[in-house]
């Protein structure tokens, strides 16, 4: 607004200046035009007089001169008879026209300086005068005519009035042009300003408000909530699979996914709810006048809406989302603490799936989390990690056949940290590659039982790492460890995620001679047709079904999986065998291998060597048979 006013002022100023210049120029022009015209006229009169006086002998009588002057010359003029040095006769009435007399004297005083010219203009104390000297043919004398340029010639006055009219027209046009231009320019400026303001407060990719605007709206929401005594809810959400999408399909797909997520969020919330993108795959939602119940209804709806696969250029992408919720005023009074607490809740949601409200009791968790995430890599380098081994027994032979390798972290201050806690961190921070290499190397170095297979867990994320087969082959060669004694366990749902890539990588590993197992089978949603296309050797039934096989449904599931596995020519392993009764049932169902606390908990290499030497499993097996 201020800028446009300044602009208008400037344009009008320039117009006025132009008009002023025009005025001065016009004035000068009319003055000069007038002067020229008058001099010409005066010259003609002078010549006429000279002609009429040509026949006169001697000095003409004053009344002759007076007659000529009044007949020919305009009023306010003097006609002189000039004889070289003196003006002899004055044809005028000096009594009535004193000014003319003064002018005449002043002309005479200055005559020396205009010797060369015959006409001109001069200033006398009485005013401005024109003069013309007309030689008389055949005589030494000259006639001189002086004229006070009184009044205006008709030509000058028409010229002046034309100039005035055109001046007004120009002013009028200039003002309109100035108004038009300044309106246009100020509109442009306003548009540009608006675009800049929008840019400063919105996310370019999705067009949603950004963090700054969200903070502003949070402050507004807080004052409104304070005035009306109503709560509001802040959601913080991130996508569960965004990194995978970006890594496997490229940033272009990632961007499109974010745009579509933004659209779905918009469609599933109310008009006056705000949705913001805070960066990466993190979104925030502000729901005014919403209590705990309303928040859980909305969070449930959003979670469900994002659960549906996205279709991006013909590729089906399952994103899924975790939502953390902080309520005003219950969980925080100011925007900063609400955001922080929604963030803590989001991590709770990541663990539990779906959405979670901020729980102050869990908050210490997030401090711990941040610390552990920061320290994991150096913990590996400093040897804070070590391995435990848990045997798998072959049910037909009644002997151990393989050892599952499981990582442990003994933190110097925080004590033991479970893999359920640090493996997801390693995946999130990208430390998982280093961790995998470390566990394989450590297992090959310790190799507690040279006649048993070593079964290592492979994180889903490692299936994206095309360099993995070479890294594993190098380690095997370095320790001179036969590939056929190594098995890799991959969680079921991870395999299905990017089948094309997974298939390539698994085939390369399998070609090296490494055995492959599907871990936690029954918890994911694999298509059986896909499973058949992948080079698996073993299927591990998830322990959640095995632990409680007294329950009818679990038993049915275990039986079905064993049949399925056998029909597809997999070796079937049941993990989580805790009870002798369970062991007997598995034996009866024809399960190939068992693993569980009934035989052995995961234990360090030395303890496991002792366990193997003592042959403690024989006791367990027989006890189980008798109990059955």
Number of residues that bind ligand G (CB under 6 A): 24
Q: Would residue 59 be called left, alpha or beta, if left means φ above 0 and alpha means ψ between -120 and 50 degrees?
A: beta
Of 254 and 460, the one with the shorter C-beta distance to ligand G is 460
Q: Which uninterrupted H or E stretch holds 516?
A: strand 515-521
How far apart are CB 575 and Mn ion at their closest, in Å?
A: 7
> Would you count residue 420 as binding ligand G (CB under 6 A)?
yes
576 interacts with, out of Mn ion, ligand G, none, CB within 5 to 8 A per kind = ligand G
DSSP count for the chain of H helices, then E strands: 21, 21
Question: Which residue of 519, 538, 542, 592 would you call a contact of Mn ion, by CB under 5 A?
Answer: 519
Which positions from 423 to 462 touch Mn ion by CB under 5 A, shown as an x/- string? ----------------------------------x-----
149 interacts with, out of Mn ion, ligand G, none, CB within 5 to 8 A per kind = none
Alpha helices in 331-480 (DSSP H): 335-352, 363-381, 419-429, 432-446, 468-478
Give CA 236 to chain center in angstroms: 19
Q: Which stretch binds ligand G (CB under 6 A): 334-342, 348-356, 531-539, 595-603?
A: 595-603
Of 221 and 392, the one with the shorter C-beta distance to ligand G is 392
SS3 134: strand
How far apart are CB 439 and Mn ion at their closest, in Å?
A: 12
Single out the residue of 402, 466, 406 nearest to residue 442, CA to CA: 406
Q: Which stretch binds ligand G (CB under 6 A): 84-92, 190-198, 347-355, 576-584?
A: 576-584
602 interacts with, out of ligand G, Mn ion, none, CB within 5 to 8 A per kind = ligand G
**Residues for the chain: how many in total?**
628
Q: Which stretch binds ligand G (CB under 6 A): 27-35, 293-301, 467-475, 589-597?
A: 589-597
For residue 414, count other CB atoms closer than 10 A to its CB: 12
> Would you count residue 459 as binding ligand G (CB under 6 A)?
yes
What CA–CA distance (Å, rounded) separates 417 from 439? 16
Alpha helices in 55-87 (DSSP H): 62-72
> Could you please report the per-residue DSSP string of 157-200?
HHHHHHHHHHHHHHHHHHHHHHHHHHHHHHHHHHHHHHHHHHHH
> Would you count residue 419 as binding ligand G (CB under 6 A)?
yes
Residues 572/368, Cβ–Cβ less than 8 Å? no
Q: Which stretch binds ligand G (CB under 6 A): 207-215, 232-240, 419-427, 616-624?
A: 419-427
Here the tokens at position 204 are 């370019």
Q: Which stretch binds ligand G (CB under 6 A): 2-10, 167-175, 317-325, 571-579?
A: 571-579
> Would you count residue 519 as binding ligand G (CB under 6 A)?
yes
What CA–CA distance (Å, rounded) separates 416 from 379? 12
Residues 90/78, Cβ–Cβ less than 8 Å? yes
Of 122 and 438, the one with the shorter C-beta distance to ligand G is 438
Of 147 and 458, the one with the shorter C-beta distance to ligand G is 458
Q: Which stretch binds ligand G (CB under 6 A): 96-104, 306-314, 329-337, 575-583?
A: 575-583
How far apart are CB 404 and Mn ion at their closest, in Å?
A: 6
Residues 117/130, Cβ–Cβ less than 8 Å? no
> Would you count residue 520 as binding ligand G (CB under 6 A)?
yes
Residues 119/146, Cβ–Cβ less than 8 Å? no
Q: Which stretch binds ligand G (CB under 6 A): 48-56, 236-244, 299-307, 573-581?
A: 573-581
> Would you count residue 492 as binding Mn ion (CB under 5 A)?
no
> Would you count residue 489 as binding Mn ion (CB under 5 A)?
yes
Question: Which residue of 469, 565, 602, 621 would you call a contact of ligand G, by CB under 6 A?
Answer: 602
Q: Would residue 353 be called left, alpha or beta, if left means φ above 0 and alpha means ψ between -120 and 50 degrees?
A: left
> Would you count residue 575 as binding ligand G (CB under 6 A)?
yes
Here the tokens at position 252 are 């272009």
Give the angle subtended at the CA of 89 by the CAs of 85 and 95, to the nearest 5°. Answer: 125
Single out the residue of 435, 504, 434, 493 nearest to residue 460, CA to CA: 493
Residues 387/604, Cβ–Cβ less than 8 Å? yes
How far apart are CB 333 and ligand G at their closest, in Å?
A: 40
- The footprint of ligand G on residues 527-556 (CB under 6 A) is 543, 547
239 interacts with, out of Mn ion, ligand G, none, CB within 5 to 8 A per kind = none
- The footprint of ligand G on residues 354-413 (CB under 6 A) is 390, 406-407
> Would you count residue 210 as binding Mn ion (CB under 5 A)?
no
Of 342 and 405, the one with the shorter C-beta distance to Mn ion is 405
Q: Which stretch binds Mn ion (CB under 5 A): 33-41, 184-192, 425-433, 489-497?
A: 489-497
Q: Which uninterrupted H or E stretch holds 219?
A: helix 211-228
Interface residue list for Mn ion (CB under 5 A): 457, 489, 519
Which spans of this chain sit near ligand G (rule: CB under 6 A)?
Answer: 390, 406-407, 418-420, 423, 439, 457-459, 489, 519-520, 543, 547, 575-578, 595-597, 602
């Amino acid at each position: 607004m201020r800028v446009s006013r300044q602009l208008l002022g400037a344009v009008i100023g320039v117009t006025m200046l132009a008009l002023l210049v025009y005025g001065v120029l016009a004035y000068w022009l009319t003055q000069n035009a007038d002067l020229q015209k008058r001099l010409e006229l005066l010259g003609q009169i002078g010549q006429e007089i000279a002609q009429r006086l040509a026949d006169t002998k001697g000095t003409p009588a004053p009344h002759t001169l007076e007659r000529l002057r009044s007949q020919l010359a305009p009023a306010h003029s003097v006609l002189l008879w000039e004889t070289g040095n003196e003006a002899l006769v004055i044809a005028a009435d000096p009594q009535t026209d004193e000014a003319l007399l003064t002018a005449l004297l002043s002309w005479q005083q200055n005559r020396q300086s205009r010797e060369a010219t015959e006409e001109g203009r001069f200033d006398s104390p009485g005013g401005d005068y024109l003069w013309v000297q007309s030689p008389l043919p055949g005589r030494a004398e000259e006639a001189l005519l002086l004229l006070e340029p009184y009044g205006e010639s008709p030509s000058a006055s028409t010229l002046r009035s034309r100039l005035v009219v055109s001046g007004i027209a120009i002013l009028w046009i200039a003002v309109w042009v100035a108004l038009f231009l300044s309106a246009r320019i100020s509109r442009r400026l306003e548009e540009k300003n608006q675009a800049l303001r929008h840019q400063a407060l919105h996310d370019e990719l999705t067009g949603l408000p950004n963090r700054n605007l969200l903070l502003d709206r949070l402050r507004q929401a807080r004052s409104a909530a304070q005035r009306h005594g109503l709560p509001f809810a802040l959601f913080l959400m991130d996508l569960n699979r965004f990194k995978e999408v970006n890594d496997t399909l490229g940033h272009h797909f990632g961007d499109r996914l974010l745009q579509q997520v933004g659209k779905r969020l918009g469609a599933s919330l109310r008009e006056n709810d705000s949705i913001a993108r805070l960066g990466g795959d993190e979104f925030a939602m502000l729901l005014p006048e919403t209590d705990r119940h309303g928040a859980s209804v909305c969070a449930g709806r959003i979670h469900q809406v994002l659960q549906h696969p996205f279709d991006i250029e013909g590729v089906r992408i399952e994103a899924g989302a975790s939502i953390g919720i902080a309520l005003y005023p219950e969980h925080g009074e100011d925007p900063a603490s609400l955001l922080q607490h929604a963030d803590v809740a989001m991590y709770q949601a990541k663990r539990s799936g779906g959405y979670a409200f901020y729980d102050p009791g869990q908050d210490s968790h997030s401090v711990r989390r941040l610390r552990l995430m920061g320290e994991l890599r150096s913990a590996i380098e400093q040897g804070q990690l070590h391995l435990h081994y848990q045997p798998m027994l072959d049910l037909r032979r009644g002997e151990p056949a393989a050892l599952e390798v499981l990582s442990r972290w003994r933190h110097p201050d925080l004590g033991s940290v479970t893999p359920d806690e640090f493996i997801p961190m390693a995946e999130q921070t990208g430390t998982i590659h280093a961790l995998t290499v470390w566990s394989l190397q450590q297992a090959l170095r310790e190799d507690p039982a040279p006649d048993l297979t070593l079964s290592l867990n492979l994180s889903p994320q490692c299936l994206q790492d095309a360099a993995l087969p070479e890294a594993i082959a190098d380690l095997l060669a370095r320790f001179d460890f036969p590939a056929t004694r190594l098995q890799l366990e991959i969680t079921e749902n991870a395999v299905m995620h990017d089948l094309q890539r997974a298939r390539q990588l698994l085939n390369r590993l399998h070609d090296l001679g490494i055995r492959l197992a599907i871990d936690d089978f029954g918890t994911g949603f694999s298509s059986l047709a896909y499973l058949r296309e992948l080079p698996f050797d073993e299927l591990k039934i998830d322990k959640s079904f095995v632990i409680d096989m007294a329950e009818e449904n679990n038993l049915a599931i275990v039986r079905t999986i064993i049949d399925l596995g056998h029909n597809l020519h997999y070796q079937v392993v049941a993990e989580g065998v805790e009870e002798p009764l369970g062991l007997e049932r598995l034996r009866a169902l024809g399960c190939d291998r068992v693993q569980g606390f009934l035989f052995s908990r995961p234990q360090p290499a030395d303890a496991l060597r002792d366990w193997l030497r003592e042959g403690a499993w024989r006791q367990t097996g027989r006890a189980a048979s008798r109990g059955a």
